[in-house]
Chain A
Amino acid sequence: MLILGIDTSTTAISVALHDGDRVVAQATTLDARAHAEHLAPGIRAALDQAGAAPRDVTGVVVGIGPGPFTGLRVGIVSGRTFAFALGLPVHGLCSLDALAHEAWLGGHRGGLLVATDARRKEVYAAEFLLDEGGLTRLAGPVVSRAAELQHDWRRLPIAGRGPLLYPADLPGPPEDGSEPSGIPLPRDVSAGALADLAVRRLADGDPADPLDGLEPLYLRRPDVSKAPPSQKSTLG
């Protein structure tokens, strides 16, 4: 088994290869404005690092967001096309789940808010509960201004860049609380965590907990204005 993981929903352009037991190669570049430049070289670098050829890949998993649209589409179309070219199965996973899973892998347990940059002064957010069995997404994903998220979410430990962008609105657990574990929480999606979560879910084979399909989680409609009036005065 060799699963290619791809995620471009955050600032990270992240690629990983997972052999079913562990991540065997990972290539990540941080660049919010150049997803298409870095992704394909990243795939090639990960393959080289693993000493594998494209033909050795047995499946593809891609983060379907939510995330800023332009970058998000780069990852999804790349994953779909790579898989099509080699006749491989391709799966999608909510990118916020990958952030929660990385926190779980790092040892975090309990409640967790994932809040990532949605631009336009908003965040993409979802609430999770992490226990020994893994993660459960309790609510979300949603897109919202940080200040308008429900109060108890904003006092959870928070993964993603939300708290770096809106520290006043996303303060995390109160200072005197017993919540903070000292475990660092991830800020950008790692394709390694994404691929690991996919491998576990595929192994579980629980039909009630399938992967997420391949449609992007846009959560917003396109910005469109109505057609301009058919006649605009030119006579002044």
Chain B
Amino acid sequence: MTDEPLVLGIETSCDETGVGIVRGETLLVDTVASSVEEHARFGGVVPEVASRAHLEAMVPTIERACREAGVSLRDLDAIAVTSGPGLAGSLLVGVAAAKALAVALDRPIYGVNHLASHVAVDIVEHGPLPEPTMAMLVSGGHSSLLLVPDVTNDVRSLGSTMDDAAGEAFDKVARVLGLPFPGGPHIDRAAREGDRIAIDFPRGLTSRRDLERHRFDFSFSGLKTAVARWVEMRHRDGEAVPVADVAASFQEAVVDVLTRKAVLACKDNGVDHLLIGGGVAANSRLRALAEERCTKAGIALRVPRPGLCTDNGAMVAALGAQMVAKGREPSDLGLPTDSSMPVQLVQS
């Protein structure tokens, strides 16, 4: 099947330098260099630190991806790169590198949307996407429900977070509980020992009225504040904080709202497939509750393996390969980065 397009994808929208290579719908390699450890001591991603790390990691990561896949750059049919949304300085490093490859190798370049890539990656994991697909993307930067008739050029936003992203809430609550950054994995681990109905934390935008006006939107800021307030009350009263119970109850509040709205979106739109992507999709409770609720509702659930849920280059290559296969026009070599690229814009 060597007539399938061979595409290299570059992803630098946040703190991971990702390079992946895909042939058609087959993943050949997914290589990621992360600067997360450099950010941990600051309690969050520092843009300039991330940009510097991308510059240093870029060529070595491309080199490693080619070596591990046994691919020569000359064999590539196209280059794909995340052109937004994301951190402006980080995006620029990846886009500049992708353009340099495109010029040096005389190949077309596709500047693609980070969020659409999170959807497209499941093609190399679980095969072609049903059209339309319902997708929920939950990460440190995004919480969105997307109706996706065609991942290469038709992605529609049904709703998104009105304040904090779900992953951001995990990071902030982890800090309140004295757990390290990034908060997601640590809260997931702590919650396994806890009681998820111990504390009844608020579920944002789920009242009857909110379900009319903000049916598929999310809000996690109030939840985060409620957790901080609850913990502070315990401190004030001189009582120990039951970290596992707080973590489990907080996590339950987040995944309850996410899965409830995702299933609702499927039902409202008559879609029987739900895809969950983004870093928070690695959360074990989110996976379990989504599985349970989708089964009950007769919805097929697709979640890529955790390494393909977090930011990576394979997802960009996967989307690029779809674009080449569908005969989409490449981007102009002068393509800009767009740190707030709207999700509806699949390609720039």
Contacts and interface: CB of A to CB of B under 8 A. Distances in A.
Q: Do A and B bind each other?
A: yes
Interface of A: 34-41, 43-44, 47, 53-54, 69-70, 73-74, 76-82, 84-86, 216, 218, 222-228, 230-235
Contacts of B208: none
B46 interface: yes
A85 B104 contact: yes
Interface stretch (B287-295, B308-316, B329-337): B329-337
A44 B92 contact: no
Contacts of B103: 40, 43-44, 47, 54, 82
30 contacts: A36-B95, A36-B96, A37-B334, A37-B336, A40-B100, A41-B333, A44-B103, A70-B92, A73-B51, A73-B89, A73-B96, A74-B92, A74-B96, A77-B54, A77-B58, A77-B59, A78-B96, A81-B58, A81-B104, A82-B103, A85-B101, A222-B49, A223-B46, A224-B49, A227-B42, A231-B232, A231-B235, A233-B232, A234-B232, A235-B236
Given A80-B59, A85-B105, A234-B229, A224 B42 contact: yes
Judged by DSSP, the binding face of B is helix
A209 to B, nearest CB: 26
A227 B103 CA distance: 41
Contacts of B89: 69-70, 73
Contact of A77 (B43, B49, B96): B96
B193 interface: no
Contact of A225 (B42, B52, B93, B105): B42
Contacts of B63: 84
B102 interface: yes
List 7 A-B pairs, minimum CB-CB distance, nearest first.
A227-B43, A40-B99, A222-B48, A85-B104, A81-B100, A78-B100, A82-B100
**Looking at B51, B89, B97, B232, which has the most chain A CB atoms within 10 Å of its CB?**
B97
A222 B46 contact: yes
Contact of B59 (A81, A228, A231, A235): A81
Interface residues of B, number: 48
A235 B99 contact: no
**Looking at A37, A47, A54, A223, which has the most chain B CB atoms within 10 Å of its CB?**
A37
A234 B105 CA distance: 56
B331 to A, nearest CB: 11
Contact of B336 (A36, A84, A224, A226): A36
B73 interface: yes
A84 B96 contact: no
Contacts of A232: 228
A98 B229 CA distance: 58
